[in-house]
Amino acid sequence: MASFSVFVAVAITILGLLIQGSSHPQLSPDFYSDTCPDLLPIIQHQVQLAVAEERRMGASLLRLFFHDCFVNGCDASVLLDDTPTFIGEKNAVPNKNSIRGFEAIDAIKAAVEEACPGVVSCADILTITARDSVVELGGPYWDVKLGRRDARTASQAAANTSIPPPTGSLDQLITSFHAQGLSVQDMVALSGAHTIGLARCTNFRNRTYHEKNINGLFAREKQESCPRTAGHGDNNLAPLDLQTPTAFDNYYYKNLLVYKGLLHSDQQLFNGGSTDSIVHAYAENPDAFYSDFIAAMIKMGDNKPLTGTDGEIRMECRKVNY
Ligand code: HEM
Ligand SMILES: *[C@@H]1O[C@H](CO)[C@@H](O)[C@H](O)[C@H]1NC(C)=O
Ligand SMILES: *[C@@H]1O[C@H](CO)[C@@H](O)[C@H](O)[C@H]1NC(C)=O
């Protein structure tokens, strides 16, 4: 009888492992602890250097991770350069003249390669770098799961359609995140990334001149740096969080409560709809925002990773290995 219970227990454990192995990627925080023990301090130091040189870089590096993960999973596809025979994602609509931080990633990859050649994927570097960027700008720390591998392909078409546009309605934003296995709450929490970083006039012009759910003084102030006529001052920049643009905090949500969201999509989260209560909660309680943001970042990072022998460990993040 006792041996039968042991048998059942062992069988259940094995079954559990099999199910886990087949339905979940094998990502784990200690994936490189034997093969690259100093990986985390190496990357942290590089992120500190990059952010010390330019605080905005923390925002740019966080965004890179988002734009990578939303296009066929977190596989570093966003880092691949266009070549005469290869169309990458850098010139897709949401990325062109907008995403940045590639030189910083090159420097991080070079430092990692020097310590542990051919071991660490660019996809994992993006994951760690996003976390360290949040920490460097005063946000919360969390353990990231590792073991992703790098894609040998990219998809400009998927980048065009999978990354949500700033013109999106609440329903469209929800649908776009849902397509990545992310909930409404995940969507609102991840949007809190707009507590740091800058946007171009072309992405907030219409809101500041034509929308009604915007604070009047705020709108006029933004108009000063963003001429009404399309094509004029398109690349002029404004902070996504007017209060603390280089600090990772919950001011993004406080701004929404007073209709000072910069992008149309930002203000959609607090516009009399189903997400108003979540915005209220995060505006009042930074710890609630942080814990939901962390959970959602981990969930986004788990999205369809290449693992095992799929993909490759790229030698240079900008190009596939021959
Ligand atoms: C909810 C849907 C989202 C939309 C529609 C959106 C859209 C945008 C747009 C239009 C910009 C400005 C780009 C430019 O003007 O060049 C921007 C910047 C930024 N986004 Fe988002 N975003 C969304 C969600 C996210 C998420 C989930 C993250 C990260 C977790 C994120 C992180 C950032 C950061 C940090 C910046 C500033 C980047 C910099 O200064 O270089 N965004 N976003
Ligand atoms: C992405 O969108 C741009 C602008 O509409 C377009 O020129 C480009 O061909 C699109 N890429 C793909 C692969 O559909
Ligand atoms: C600009 O804003 C107005 C007012 O909200 C809206 O009707 C229109 O569709 C917007 N245009 C674009 C291109 O987003």
- Residue having the nearest C-alpha atom to atom 3 of ligand 3: 210
Task: Please state the rounded mean pLDDT for residues 73-102.
Answer: 98
pLDDT of 111 over the 90 cut: yes
pLDDT of 317 over the 60 cut: yes
Task: Please state the rounded mean pLDDT for residues 289-314.
Answer: 97
pLDDT score, position 21? 43
Q: Is 211's C-beta closer than 6 angstroms to any atom of ligand 3?
A: yes
Which of 202, 206, 209 is the best mutation target for the ligand 3 pocket, counting ligand atoms within 8 Å of the beta carbon and taking the most?
A: 206
State the CATH class of domain 181-300. mainly alpha
Q: Is 193's C-beta closer than 6 angstroms to any atom of ligand 1?
A: yes
Task: Please state the rounded mean pLDDT for residues 283-311.
Answer: 97
Spatial CB neighbours of 160, under 8 Å, sequence gap ≥ 6: 92, 93, 94
Query: For 145-194, how does the pLDDT look when each residue is reduced to its tens digit (9 = 90+)?
Result: 999 999 999 999 999 999 999 999 999 999 999 999 999 999 999 999 99
- Residue having the nearest C-alpha atom to atom 14 of ligand 3: 167
CA 156 to centroid of ligand 1, rounded, Å: 18
pLDDT score, position 48? 98
d(CA 260, CA 54) in angstroms, rounded, equals: 25
Query: For 213-270, how does the pLDDT look when each residue is reduced to its tens digit (9 = 90+)?
Result: 999 999 999 999 999 999 999 999 999 999 999 999 999 999 999 999 999 999 999 9
Q: Which comes out higher in pLDDT, residue 4 or 84?
A: 84
Q: Is 55's C-beta closer than 6 angstroms to any atom of ligand 1?
A: no
Percent of the chain with pLDDT over 70: 92
Query: For 255-271, how does the pLDDT look when each residue is reduced to its tens digit (9 = 90+)?
Result: 999 999 999 999 999 99
Q: Which ligand is nearest to the CA of 213?
A: 3
- DSSP letter for each residue of 154-222: --HHHHHHHSPPTT--HHHHHHHHHTTT--HHHHHHHHGGGGS-EEEHHHHHHHHHH-SSS-HHHHHHH
With the CA atoms of 148, 162, 320 and 305 taken in that order, what torsion angle do they form, in degrees rounded to the nearest 10? 10
Query: For 5-29, how does the pLDDT look when each residue is reduced to its tens digit (9 = 90+)?
Result: 544 444 544 444 444 444 445 899 9
- Domains of the chain, by residue range, sit at 39-163, 181-300
pLDDT score, position 5? 53
Q: Is 91's C-beta closer than 6 angstroms to any atom of ligand 3?
A: no
Which residues on adjacent β-strands are paired with residue 319? 316
319 is written with which tokens? 């190009």
pLDDT score, position 8? 47
Predicted TM-score of the model (pTM)? 0.94
d(CA 245, CA 156) in angstroms, rounded, equals: 30
pLDDT score, position 211? 98
Catalytic site includes residue 67: yes
CA 63 to centroid of ligand 1, rounded, Å: 6
Q: Is 206's C-beta closer than 6 angstroms to any atom of ligand 1?
A: no
Instruction: List, chain by chain if needed, residues with CB within 6 Å of any ligand 2 atom.
Output: 92-93, 156-157, 160
Spatial CB neighbours of 228, under 8 Å, sequence gap ≥ 6: 205, 209
Q: Which ligand is nearest to the CA of 199?
A: 1
**Are the C-beta atoms of residues 207 and 262 closer than 8 Å to each other?**
yes
**Are the C-beta atoms of residues 47 and 62 closer than 8 Å to each other?**
no
CA 108 to centroid of ligand 3, rounded, Å: 41
Q: Which ligand is nearest to the CA of 208?
A: 3
- Ligand 3 atom with the smallest distance to the CA of 264 is 14
Query: For 25-52, how does the pLDDT look when each residue is reduced to its tens digit (9 = 90+)?
Result: 589 999 999 999 999 999 999 999 999 9
CA 116 to centroid of ligand 1, rounded, Å: 32
pLDDT score, position 26? 83
Q: Which ligand is nearest to the CA of 168?
A: 1
Question: What is the average pLDDT value for the chain, to the nearest integer?
Answer: 94
Candidates 67, 178, 232, 264; catalytic one: 67
State the CATH class of domain 39-163. mainly alpha
Spatial CB neighbours of 227, under 8 Å, sequence gap ≥ 6: 201, 233
